[in-house]
Amino acid sequence: MCFYEKMNFLCIYGGKNIKLLNDFWILDLECFTYIKPIYDNNEILEISEHVMICQDECIIVLGGFGVNGYFKFDFKVYEFYKDNNMLSKGE
């Protein structure tokens, strides 16, 4: 989870309940509504205990434990767009 100050958003990616989660949500803190972002052909990883950074116009997700309990060393970068949705920028 990370706070994106420029748009007053709280970004939530993955995590763990009973099982690993592979969802991505944005909470608009001005009107307290959730936004389901749209992203381009990059699936959301099932991970927990990862690092998430909001920097400039991007969200960066690093590492985390995956489905088999192994630590992942990959990362994903998502860029904010004008309509508050997101599009994957690369890995």
Task: State which amino acid sits at residue 20.
Answer: L
CA 4 to chain centre: 11
CA distances from residue 60 to 7, 11, 20, 32, 37 in whole angstroms, order as listed: 16, 11, 19, 23, 15
pLDDT digits (tens, 9 = 90+) for 23-62: 888 899 999 999 888 776 566 778 888 989 988 888 888 8
Q: What order do you get walking across the sheet with 58-62 strand by strand?
A: 51-55, 58-62, 75-80, 86-90
Task: Quote the pLDDT of residue 29.
Answer: 94
Task: Quote the pLDDT of residue 87.
Answer: 52
Beta bridge partners of 16: 20
- How many domains does the chain fold into? 1
Query: Domain residues for 17?
Result: 2-90
CA distances from residue 47 to 16, 32, 54 in whole angstroms, order as listed: 8, 25, 18
